[in-house]
Amino acid sequence: MPMRVLAFLTLLLLLTGCGSTPSGLRIAGSTSVQPVAERLAEGYRRAGGSRVIVQGGGSTAGVQAVLSGIAAMGAISRSLTPEESEQGLVSHTIGYDVLTVVVHPENPLAQRGLTLAELRAIFRGDVTDWVQLGGRPGPIHLVTREAGSGSREAFRSLVGPVSPRAIVQNSAGGIRAAVMGNPQAIGYVSLGVARMGGVAALAVDGHRPGEVGYPLVRPLSLVTLGQPRGEAAAFLRYIRSPEARQVLAEEGLVPG
């Protein structure tokens, strides 16, 4: 019951909100984009723009929201499918999220890095001891995110499935803490979190995270139906500004 009531009140607020601020811009979609988009919305407002409302729901929900006209822009953390592009959706990449594989700084493999194939075998649970990779003998402790998390989905699509025996933490901070305290652990976080220190970011296939050629990268984009007009175009222009690029960098994104 409380959920229903809450949902109803939220809807009411949203609907009335729509009526009173006809110039507001609504963005719905990927929960991975949400925190960045919220910070960009704040900056946009401070720079004299109108109010931007950012909602989650996932990439596909964002695409649906744009197609049905509920939101002016959708946020996606994947590429548009051919079918979606055919319906007239245009995607504007705002930056690249760099998925960073982290280990304890004392792990000898922190220097050498791993190949994508090794990473896949480790997280699938086929390689279970560091000695198999030329490291110090000892079991590998996998750390992953919970079902539904954007990072987990990205990791699944870029690397592969994760063993059900992996330890689950429900935040990037939790993964960092687990890896910091355990020389045998390996996990994945976004580059911004990896740079907070205490963990070593691994090179994958010889490329350090953030470098050109690093494979674990996914585009974060905003989509519009047709070419962006009005508020949407202005917001996209703001995202290209030096101030917005600074925000993207702070959130661990590589500007597009």
Residue 22: which residues within 8 A CB-CB, separation 6 or more?
none
190 or 224: CB nearest other proteins: 190
Q: Does 27 bind other proteins (CB under 8 A)?
A: no
Q: Does 165 bind other proteins (CB under 8 A)?
A: yes
With CB under 8 A as the contact rule, the residue among 127, 167, 234, 249 that binds other proteins is 167
CB atoms within 10 A of CB 177: 16
Q: Does 158 bind other proteins (CB under 8 A)?
A: no
Q: Does 100 bind other proteins (CB under 8 A)?
A: no
Number of chain positions touching other proteins (CB under 8 A):
24
Q: Does 148 bind other proteins (CB under 8 A)?
A: yes
45: helix, coil or strand? helix
| Residue 245 and residue 238 in contact, taking contact as beta carbons nearer than 8 Å | no
With CB under 8 A as the contact rule, the residue among 28, 29, 31, 222 that binds other proteins is 31
Q: Does 174 bind other proteins (CB under 8 A)?
A: yes
Q: Does 2 bind other proteins (CB under 8 A)?
A: yes
Hey, what amino acid is at 211? E
* Main-chain phi, psi angles of 75, to 5 degrees: -105, 130
Minimum CB–partner distance for residue 97 and other proteins (Å): 17
Residue 1: which residues within 8 A CB-CB, separation 6 or more?
none
Q: Tell me the window of 6-14, 41-49, 167-175, 227-235 that interacts with other proteins (CB under 8 A).
A: 167-175
Fill in the per-residue mask, 53 to 92: x = in contact with other proteins (CB under 8 A), - = not in contact: -----x----------------------------------
d(CA 194, CA 199): 7
Q: Does 105 bind other proteins (CB under 8 A)?
A: no
d(CA 143, CA 79): 27
Question: How far, in Å, are 75, 126, 224 from residue 252 at the CA level?
Answer: 17, 31, 24
Question: How far, in Å, are 15, 17, 175, 210 from residue 108 at the CA level?
Answer: 56, 55, 20, 21
Q: Tell me the window of 19-27, 89-97, 116-124, 169-177 that interacts with other proteins (CB under 8 A).
A: 169-177
Q: Does 17 bind other proteins (CB under 8 A)?
A: no
With CB under 8 A as the contact rule, the residue among 16, 87, 170, 246 that binds other proteins is 170
Minimum CB–partner distance for residue 178 and other proteins (Å): 7
Query: Cα 209 to chain center, whole Å?
Result: 15
With CB under 8 A as the contact rule, the residue among 79, 128, 132, 182 that binds other proteins is 182
| Residue 127 and residue 118 in contact, taking contact as beta carbons nearer than 8 Å | yes
* Main-chain phi, psi angles of 171, to 5 degrees: -155, 160
Strand 52-57 versus strand 253-255 pairing type = unpaired
60 or 79: CB nearest other proteins: 60
Binding interface with other proteins (CB under 8 A)? 1-3, 31, 58, 141, 146-149, 164-170, 174, 177-178, 181-182, 184-185
